[in-house]
Amino acid sequence: MTQQPLDPTSDESLMAAISHFFGLLVALIVWATQKDKSRFVRFQAIQAMAFDLLVSVAAFLFVGCMMAFIFGVLALGIGDIAILGNQGNPTAEPFRTIIALMTAVPLLIPCIFVPFAGLIFVARLIATIQTFQGKNFHYPWLGALVERYQEH
């Protein structure tokens, strides 16, 4: 079922852009106040909320995995000291080398997080600019899911 093309007013474009730029809480407020007034704003606000929730879940999972990894390395280090002791045990050296390499992994977090945050910002910026221009912006695959959800 194809809907008629939207021709939002400048106020509607501004509300949609604000939803994308400022994130979940602002998008929720815009949606709550505008959902019955504008189909364009309603869709963009819901899409902005869905995007922010998806990003939040991904960040939560990433941080959770990193914390589990860090605690695992700590447990291995404590286990190393408890089991192998501090003596010059030659069988312990490969194990200690692995632990030393694993402790460097948390230092790589910014190498993963900074580009991820940059991509999120760019996606928000593109959504903000396009909706401010009155275009019916869709995030890849997420926009279609939100559109299907709205039809029901």
HSE-CB at 144 with a 13 A cutoff on CA atoms is: 2
pLDDT tens string 96-123: 677 777 777 777 778 888 899 999 999 9
Question: Any idea what DSSP says for residue 87?
Answer: S
Q: Minimal CA–CA distance to 106: which of 48, 75, 135, 66?
A: 66
**DSSP H helical segments within the chain, as ranges?**
10-22, 24-34, 39-84, 93-104, 109-132, 142-151
CA dist., res. 112 & res. 78, Å (int) = 27
Band of residue 1 on the pLDDT scale cut at 50, 70, 90: very low
- Residues 6+ away with beta carbon under 8 Å from 114: none
Kindly report which listed range (48-57, 66-75, 138-147) carries the lowest average pLDDT score. Answer: 66-75
**pLDDT given for residue 90 in this prediction:** 65
Average pLDDT over residues 121-145: 92
44 contacts 73 by C-beta, under 8 angstroms: no
Task: Give the pair of three-digit tokens for residue 132.
Answer: 């401010």
Kindly report which listed range (13-17, 63-67, 98-102, 109-113) carries the lowest average pLDDT score. Answer: 98-102
**pLDDT given for residue 83 in this prediction:** 59
CA dist., res. 78 & res. 71, Å (int) = 10
Evaluate the CA torsion angle 56, 59, 64, 65 in order and state its sign: positive
Q: What is the pTM of this model?
A: 0.76
Mean of the per-residue pLDDT values of the chain = 83
pLDDT tens string 78-91: 666 655 565 666 66
138 contacts 144 by C-beta, under 8 angstroms: yes
CA dist., res. 22 & res. 110, Å (int) = 23
